[in-house]
């Protein structure tokens, strides 16, 4: 719909106004007519066009009859060269068509368009008709904004969005371009102004900058020169400055703005941001100006997106501790042999905290013009707590944290308890970025542990990887990565869900017993050594594992439903658990009985699996043999890594002790059908 | 989709479980098979049904071949009479079909259904398939909840939702019924429990009660007796009690619950509430129970809904002050003559604050089973501030307030600045409950006044009357009711928008001058008396009214667009304004030059209009004559009420000094297509 503006004209005094090409002026001719007027006629400059409603029988009567509903619609199709160079006048006539009075209107025509990349191709097109709305999906529209959560500087650093000015030109890359295109006389008529504004709420989420000096399109050399002097970027609107005049440069010009996102979608922020630009008309001395034309654009802030195991690894992160030299060597071998990068977090930074999986989660943000990884810092805050900010945050490496408010932080807040599935389709609904998976307590349980509300709210608010809550509170440590992971597969849904399964574990041990290997030992040659027969005759252990299998099966049913999986998409891994009593005997929870093989690192088709130390059959570990027989058909290569002393004994395994930065998904989040 | 549960059976020990009719048990037959098993067969009680997947070529082979994917699907269609009265057993066979071992499963079948009025007909139907989701519209579904914001007691009162218990049986009327229907043996098998639970977030919005004593369906007399003893209602779940066991009564029974809403939709609450009920299975000594079946229902809290001028009045509210006796008499005449009720707020309560429109807004909440009016108390908090709580809150009269947090409350927070349109359709989108209208500053204006954020957020969050923000900050008092109102009409959209119009005002005065009445006086016989000629020759007044007309025209354009109005839907009323300087000369803002006739009370076809004291022509006020000629064709009757001294001089008029409680809309909000 064409924007319409009501305008009053006057027989006593000429009216002056500015017209924006593409709009329509409506004049109630009766309202400003002399009381005795009965007819009217119209004259105007050639670039002014008009229509009279309601239409008269005679198409172009001279003069027109005046009725209480007589409305004049005015448009112009070319911009003015000078102020008020166009004119329209209405002559009123009395009963006997005698001329009574004239009402004269002087017009200046300008073009104004606030533009963004609404079609998401990386280029700011001109006046996209959809620029003021957001629509998800491949046929959708709406510009994209990044939270400027990286840090251009690595020394004395600060998250860029927390700085009020632009300290490096490179920071502009993290912002979205917005262009004010104008065309018209060299200056606006006296008293007219352009004004940009945002709402109070919006100002918490966005800041807009522009070069201090007005840059004309042809002054490219000047623009380049400018970029040397950084303080030449001015904040136009932002916190405590909701509105500001912006220059009108005259002729056909473009003024560049840089839009900086400040916060991620969250419980109280849907990610949408509206920016307005108005043309203000002077209302005369002592009166405030009135907006006579408003253009709007909308941005959607990129959500924070997690990367499933099926995406290509870029860099593997592990901690170096006093006691993990050989583990580190195994990881280094696995990683470098396959051409990935390895980053070791040394002890001065980790202070003995080896749980690299738990302190942080890697994700990324994405826009048509730019994208970069963003680490989500867990409220866990162990001795590793400085690592995400101090070692990861940097140029094109963002940082976001959520801090628990009035809640206790529990072990369920560690990000071994935060995973993401590969892409799935569930009952026809597609999740091309997968679904986030977290672990909580059964809501029916009194005194259960949970992931803090702020983190859960953050995850749900990102929307593009709708979370699934599993039940992980049955585990002593309480992380979903203790009983599940995803590996790539060549067939079916292109992945398998691996689940720890005591039943599958018992099946291996029973097979050994059946084939006369009952006396072989689990943990051979280790202080913990125990025969297969002894394991199978331990009724308490069996009851515990029955309970564990029930807990895992409950999660299996949820995962099948929420990820649309069949039994054929799931592989049961032979893993036994045992229950331990917690302090004060408050409750009994599960830990892995031998190294928890599902807690693996997945690097393409290479799996780094905790070495289980199972019974030896013909010189090979029966559990390893079983793992290989389950995973080899998928083209996966198993490397068993000894994590017994430095990880397993401390109730974690390979996955808990590592983290993988992966490439972003080739699927762009705004193409999602929500 | 039928809910499925993974179940493990065991060859060493019989497995016992409880089955919920309508679900499916899936057993991985391979997982629990002896390692050497190659075939299996199945036997079961007649009420147990099973299916084997993947299907075999031979439809019913005996025995079945065992594969790693062999899954057994179990259902039952009748409930058990005693615990574990049904049975299924799997026999495993070796390579040469020699019998190896049996895995036995004992089953108890029960029916469990948590039920609500999901089809919105006032009756809690059984197991509505849509009970766990919300869909707007006439073909939608989902149960409705009221915020229990009235007060059953009028003495020592408190909003009911702020009390933790039920003090009167009548309070149950304000809650939604929810029924737990169960069928099965007289008791659940040992260790099984039913448990109701809500999330932490949900507990801020809902409380659920049930009668303390278990009531069997046939014990109607007992139920009646119970209702005499009020403390017999127990809170089942709510704040600080997220989960609680609920009794299983045995046989075919219904257990009634009462669901109480605690908060309205707001910025951080979408109005949706989920309530869960699980059947918990014992996992053995020392292990926590596991939920094996969960039923869910959803409620949507009724939004707070405003009533436009086109709805039937019920009761008119005005203040009695020392100086408004004759005004009060006029109002009383108008109201009682037309058969409406009048409620006078006396001075002990109003303490001289006469602005009944500004301290509160009437609305209502609605559900299929019950509805009542709810007053929204403004953060204005003038001397009338106690009136809404003290005089309005009561049985079936609700109360809700929003308090400004760290913001200044301005005159724009008075509810003369909060109105609602009649039903409209805009570009095909229908608003059958109308749209809320508020006034704010131009966002381009520095230092403009605004309506507080908390109130705006509350209004937007109600969703069913999507608000429109007008520009009212140009007015000294700053209320939308100073320049607009709606009146009923027999034709077109069934209403007209009335707008104050200085142009229309000047037109009346110019007509008088043209017909030789230039010397007649505005305000005849009053100290303010001034001739028509003098008014028309006042260039300053003219410039001010030009500005005012621009401001109103800006709003006119917004209203036309947002309400889908044509010029023919709008009537311009002849009203002049003047500008006054505010304290400290911060800005210049408008007040009515003579009583602001648009600020009227609308009671069906009766309009109570501020008496304008215009020039007398043939013994009749020319402004009144003009008003009548504009409104009479719509069948509207104008009564001009002298509010000059007690209201107009204090910068308000009839509408500002009154309020109207109206009947709710016949359109039910859940039928809206959102």
pLDDT tens per residue across span B311-351: 999 999 999 999 999 999 999 999 999 999 999 999 999 99
Give the residue ranges of DSSP H helices in B515-640: 532-536, 539-563, 622-631
- A 10 A CB-CB count for A576 gives 27
- Give yes or no for a contact between A73 and A2, defined as CB atoms under 8 angstroms apart: no
Instruction: Verify whether the Cβ–Cβ distance B550 to A276 is below 8 Å.
Output: no
pLDDT in tens, B429-478: 999 999 999 999 887 777 788 999 999 999 999 999 999 999 999 999 99
Which member of A6, A8, A547 has the closest CB to residue B284? A547
Say if residue B625 is preceded by a cis peptide, omega within 30 of 0: no
How would residue A155 be classed by pLDDT, with cut points 50, 70 and 90? confident
Which residue out of B149, B345, B551, B656 is catalytically annotated? B656
How would residue B586 be classed by pLDDT, with cut points 50, 70 and 90? low
End-to-end CA distance of chain A: 27
Instruction: Verify whether the Cβ–Cβ distance B453 to A201 is below 8 Å.
Output: yes
Question: Number of residue pairs across A and B with CB atoms under 8 Å?
Answer: 166
To the nearest whole Å, the CA of B275 is away from the closest chain A CA by 11
Instruction: Verify whether the Cβ–Cβ distance A444 to B267 is below 8 Å.
Output: no
Say if residue A54 is preceded by a cis peptide, omega within 30 of 0: yes
How would residue B288 be classed by pLDDT, with cut points 50, 70 and 90? confident
Q: How far apart are CA B547 and CA B549, in angstroms?
A: 5
Which member of B200, B267, B511 has the closest CB to residue A453? B200
Running DSSP on this structure, what letter comes out for residue B302? P
Q: How far apart are CA A517 and CA A451, in angstroms?
A: 44
| pLDDT confidence of residue B283 | 84
Distances (CA, A) of B59 to B26, B54, B55, B135, B579: 19, 11, 7, 43, 92
pLDDT in tens, B354-403: 999 999 999 999 999 999 999 999 999 999 999 999 999 999 999 999 99
How would residue B639 be classed by pLDDT, with cut points 50, 70 and 90? very high
Running DSSP on this structure, what letter comes out for residue B536? H
pLDDT in tens, B517-561: 999 999 999 999 999 999 999 999 999 999 999 999 999 999 999
How big is the CA angle at B362 (ends B361 and B363), to the nearest 5 degrees?
120
The mean pLDDT value for A285-314 works out to 94
Q: How big, in percent rounded to 5, are the helix, strand and coil portions of chain A?
A: 20, 35, 45
Specify burial of residue B142 (Cβ count, 10 A radius: 0-12, 13-18, 19+): buried
Which member of B284, B444, B544 has the closest CB to residue A543? B284
The mean pLDDT value for B96-121 works out to 97
Instruction: Verify whether the Cβ–Cβ distance A442 to B288 is below 8 Å.
Output: yes
Q: How far apart are CA A149 and CA A261, in angstroms?
A: 8
Instruction: Verify whether the Cβ–Cβ distance B444 to A560 is below 8 Å.
Output: no
DSSP letters for B369-400: S-EEEEEEEPTT--TTTTHIIIII-BTTBEEE
Q: Is the predicted pLDDT of residue A399 greater than 60, yes or no?
A: yes
What is the ipTM, given to two decimal places? 0.89
Give the torsion sign (CA, B583, B588, B589, B590). positive
How would residue A586 be classed by pLDDT, with cut points 50, 70 and 90? low
Q: Is the predicted pLDDT of residue A219 greater than 90, yes or no?
A: no
Instruction: Verify whether the Cβ–Cβ distance A546 to B8 is below 8 Å.
Output: yes
Most A CBs within 10 Å, among B444, B446, B463, B499, to test the A interface: B444
Instruction: Verify whether the Cβ–Cβ distance B243 to A444 is below 8 Å.
Output: yes
| pLDDT confidence of residue B154 | 83
Q: Which residue of B has its CA nearest to A70?
A: B567
| pLDDT confidence of residue A375 | 98
pLDDT in tens, B61-96: 889 999 988 999 999 999 999 999 999 999 999 999
Q: How far apart are CA A146 and CA A364, in angstroms?
A: 10
- Which positions in chain B touch A567 (Cβ < 8 Å)? 26, 28, 69, 71
The overall average pLDDT reported for chain A is 94
Instruction: Verify whether the Cβ–Cβ distance A286 to B588 is below 8 Å.
Output: yes
Q: Which residue of A has its CA nearest to B573?
A: A31
Q: pTM score > 0.90 for this model?
A: yes
- Which positions in chain A touch B551 (Cβ < 8 Å)? 290
Structure tokens at A398: 């963002």
Q: Is the predicted pLDDT of residue A662 greater than 60, yes or no?
A: yes
Which member of A284, A554, A579 has the closest CB to residue B543? A284
- Which positions in chain A touch B287 (Cβ < 8 Å)? 544, 547, 579, 588
β-partners of residue A306 are A363
To the nearest whole Å, the CA of B277 is away from the closest chain A CA by 9
Q: Where are the beta strands (DSSP E) in A508-627?
A: 521-522, 530-531, 570-574, 577-581, 588-592, 601-603, 606-610, 616-617, 620-621
pLDDT in tens, B27-45: 999 988 998 999 999 999 9
The mean pLDDT value for A513-519 works out to 95
Specify burial of residue A231 (Cβ count, 10 A radius: 0-12, 13-18, 19+): exposed
Instruction: Verify whether the Cβ–Cβ distance B507 to A474 is below 8 Å.
Output: no
- Give yes or no for a contact between B532 and B509, defined as CB atoms under 8 angstroms apart: yes
How big is the CA angle at A201 (ends A269 and A455), to the nearest 5 degrees?
30
How would residue B305 be classed by pLDDT, with cut points 50, 70 and 90? very high
Q: Is the predicted pLDDT of residue B214 greater than 60, yes or no?
A: no
How big is the CA angle at A562 (ends B112 and A628), to the nearest 5 degrees?
120
| pLDDT confidence of residue B226 | 55
| pLDDT confidence of residue A223 | 59
Nearest to A472 by CA among A424, A422, A418: A418
A12-17 long-range contacts (CB < 8 A, ≥24 apart) are: A14/A104, A14/A105, A14/A106, A15/A103, A15/A104, A15/A105, A15/A106, A16/A84, A16/A105, A16/A106, A16/A107, A16/A189, A17/A105, A17/A106, A17/A107, A17/A108, A17/A281, A17/A292
Q: Which residue of A has its CA nearest to B32?
A: A503
Q: How far apart are CA B514 and CA B250, in angstroms?
A: 91
Which member of A267, A276, A427 has the closest CB to residue B268? A267
To the nearest whole Å, the CA of A153 is away from the closest chain B CA by 35
3-class DSSP state of B6: strand
Q: Is the predicted pLDDT of residue B167 greater than 80, yes or no?
A: no
- Which positions in chain B touch A501 (Cβ < 8 Å)? 31
Nearest to B397 by CA among B666, B204, B174: B174
The mean pLDDT value for A590-607 works out to 98
Structure tokens at A536: 């199978």
Instruction: Verify whether the Cβ–Cβ distance B278 to A444 is below 8 Å.
Output: yes
| pLDDT confidence of residue A575 | 98
Instruction: Verify whether the Cβ–Cβ distance B550 to A283 is below 8 Å.
Output: yes
H-helix or E-strand spanning residue A374: strand A371-377
Q: Which residue of A has its CA nearest to B446?
A: A243
Nearest to A398 by CA among A219, A207, A174: A174
Structure tokens at A572: 């049961």
Q: How far apart are CA B121 and CA B441, in angstroms?
A: 44
Q: How far apart are CA A532 and CA A622, in angstroms?
A: 11
Q: What are the φ and ψ backbone dihedral angles of A536, each rounded to 5 degrees?
A: -70, -20
| pLDDT confidence of residue A568 | 93
Q: Is the predicted pLDDT of residue A188 greater than 80, yes or no?
A: yes
- Give yes or no for a contact between A72 and A41, defined as CB atoms under 8 angstroms apart: no
Convert A266-280 into a string of H (helix), E (strand) and C (coil): ECCECCEEEEEEEEE
Which member of B31, B288, B579 has the closest CB to residue A507? B31
Q: Which residue of B has its CA nearest to A590?
A: B287
Q: How far apart are CA B306 and CA B361, in angstroms?
A: 8
The mean pLDDT value for A629-652 works out to 98
pLDDT in tens, B594-635: 999 999 999 999 999 999 999 999 999 999 999 999 999 999
- Give yes or no for a contact between A117 and A176, defined as CB atoms under 8 angstroms apart: yes
Instruction: Verify whether the Cβ–Cβ distance B554 to A31 is below 8 Å.
Output: no
- Which positions in chain A touch B561 (Cβ < 8 Å)? 1, 4
| pLDDT confidence of residue B285 | 76
Instruction: Verify whether the Cβ–Cβ distance B290 to A550 is below 8 Å.
Output: yes
Give the residue ranges of DSSP H helices in B483-595: 502-514, 532-536, 539-563
How would residue A581 be classed by pLDDT, with cut points 50, 70 and 90? confident
Per cent of chain A over pLDDT 70 is 96
- Which positions in chain A touch B550 (Cβ < 8 Å)? 8, 281, 283, 290
Which member of A200, A287, A504 has the closest CB to residue B453? A200
Most B CBs within 10 Å, among A54, A283, A287, A438, to test the B interface: A287
The mean pLDDT value for A635-655 works out to 98
| pLDDT confidence of residue B130 | 96
To the nearest whole Å, the CA of B3 is away from the closest chain A CA by 9
- Which positions in chain A touch B66 (Cβ < 8 Å)? none
| pLDDT confidence of residue B592 | 98
3-class DSSP state of B554: helix
Which member of A443, A547, A568 has the closest CB to residue B287? A547
| pLDDT confidence of residue B443 | 73
- Which positions in chain A touch B537 (Cβ < 8 Å)? none
To the nearest whole Å, the CA of A642 is away from the closest chain B CA by 28
To the nearest whole Å, the CA of A576 is away from the closest chain B CA by 14
Instruction: Verify whether the Cβ–Cβ distance A291 to B546 is below 8 Å.
Output: no
Per cent of chain B over pLDDT 90 is 86
- Name, in order, each residue with C-beta under 8 angstroms of B219's C-beta and a sequence gap of 6 or more: none
The mean pLDDT value for B181-206 works out to 95
Instruction: Verify whether the Cβ–Cβ distance B427 to A572 is below 8 Å.
Output: no
Structure tokens at B81: 């009479």
Instruction: Verify whether the Cβ–Cβ distance B510 to A199 is below 8 Å.
Output: no
How would residue A214 be classed by pLDDT, with cut points 50, 70 and 90? low
To the nearest whole Å, the CA of B660 is away from the closest chain A CA by 32
pLDDT in tens, B405-420: 877 899 999 999 999 9
Residues of A annotated as catalytic are 656
């Amino acid at each position: 719909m064409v924007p319409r503006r009501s305008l009053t004209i006057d027989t006593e005094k000429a009216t002056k106004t500015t017209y924006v090409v593409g709009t329509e002026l409506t004049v109630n001719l009766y309202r400003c007519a002399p009381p005795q007027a009965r007819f009217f006629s119209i004259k105007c400059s050639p670039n002014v066009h008009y229509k009279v409603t309601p239409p008269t029988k005679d198409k172009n009567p001279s003069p027109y009859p005046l009725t209480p509903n007589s409305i004049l619609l005015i448009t112009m199709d070319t911009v003015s060269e000078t102020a008020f160079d166009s004119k329209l006048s209405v002559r009123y006539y009395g009963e006997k068509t005698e001329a009574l009075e004239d009402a004269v209107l002087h017009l200046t025509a300008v073009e104004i368009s606030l533009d963004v990349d609404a079609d998401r191709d990386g280029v700011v097109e001109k006046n996209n008709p959809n620029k003021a709305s957001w629509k998800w999906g491949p046929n959708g529209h709406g510009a994209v904004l990044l939270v400027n959560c990286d840090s251009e500087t690595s020394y004395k650093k600060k998250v860029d969005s927390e700085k009020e000015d632009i300290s490096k030109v490179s920071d502009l890359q993290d912002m979205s371009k917005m262009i004010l295109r104008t065309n018209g006389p060299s200056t606006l008529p006296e008293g007219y102004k352009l004004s940009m504004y945002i709402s109070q709420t919006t100002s918490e989420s966005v800041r807009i900058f522009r070069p201090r000096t007005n840059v004309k399109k042809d002054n490219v050399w000047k623009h380049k020169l400018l970029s040397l002097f950084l303080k030449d970027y001015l904040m136009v609107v932002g916190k405590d400055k909701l509105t500001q005049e912006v220059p009108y440069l005259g002729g056909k010009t473009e003024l560049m703005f840089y839009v900086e996102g400040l916060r991620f979608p969250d419980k109280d922020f849907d990610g949408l941001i509206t920016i307005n630009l108005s043309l203000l008309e002077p209302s005369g001395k002592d009166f405030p100006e009135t907006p006579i034309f408003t253009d709007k654009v909308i941005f959607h802030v990129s959500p924070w997106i997690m990367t499933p195991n099926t995406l290509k690894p870029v860099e593997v992160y592990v901690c170096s501790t006093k006691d993990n030299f050989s583990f580190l060597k195994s990881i280094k071998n696995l990683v470098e042999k396959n051409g990935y990068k390895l980053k070791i977090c040394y002890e001065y930074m980790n202070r003995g905290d080896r749980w690299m999986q738990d302190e942080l989660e890697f994700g990324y943000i994405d826009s048509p013009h730019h994208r970069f990884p963003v680490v989500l810092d867990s409220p866990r805050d162990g001795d590793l707590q400085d690592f995400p900010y101090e070692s990861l945050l940097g140029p094109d490496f963002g940082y976001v944290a959520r801090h628990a408010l009035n809640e206790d932080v529990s072990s369920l807040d560690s990000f071994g308890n935060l995973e993401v599935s590969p892409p799935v389709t569930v009952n026809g609904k597609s999740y091309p970025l997968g679904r986030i998976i977290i672990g909580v307590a059964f809501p029916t349980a009194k005194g259960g542990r949970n992931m803090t509300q702020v983190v859960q709210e953050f995850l749900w608010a990102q929307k593009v990887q709708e979370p699934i809550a599993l039940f992980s509170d049955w585990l002593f440590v309480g992380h979903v990565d203790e009983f599940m992971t995803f590996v790539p597969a060549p067939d079916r849904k292109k992945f398998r869900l691996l689940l720890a399964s005591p039943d599958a574990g018992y099946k291996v041990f029973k097979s050994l017993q059946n084939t006369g290997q009952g006396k072989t030992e689990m943990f051979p040659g280790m202080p913990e050594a125990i025969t297969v027969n002894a394991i199978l005759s331990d009724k308490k252990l069996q009851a515990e594992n029955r309970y564990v299998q029930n807990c895992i099966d409950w999660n299996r049913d949820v995962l099948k439903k929420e990820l649309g999986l069949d039994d054929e998409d799931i592989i049961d891994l032979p893993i036994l658990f045992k229950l331990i009593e917690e302090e004060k005997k408050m409750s009994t929870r599960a830990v892995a009985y031998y190294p928890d093989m599902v807690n693996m690192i997945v690097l393409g088709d290479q799996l780094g699996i905790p070495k289980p130390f199972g019974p030896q059959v013909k010189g090979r570990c029966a559990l390893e043999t079983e793992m290989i027989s389950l995973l080899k058909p998928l083209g996966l290569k198993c490397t068993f890594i000894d994590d017994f002393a430095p990880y397993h004994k401390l109730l974690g395994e390979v996955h808990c002790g590592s983290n993988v930065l992966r490439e972003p998904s080739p699927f762009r989040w705004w193409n999602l059908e929500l």
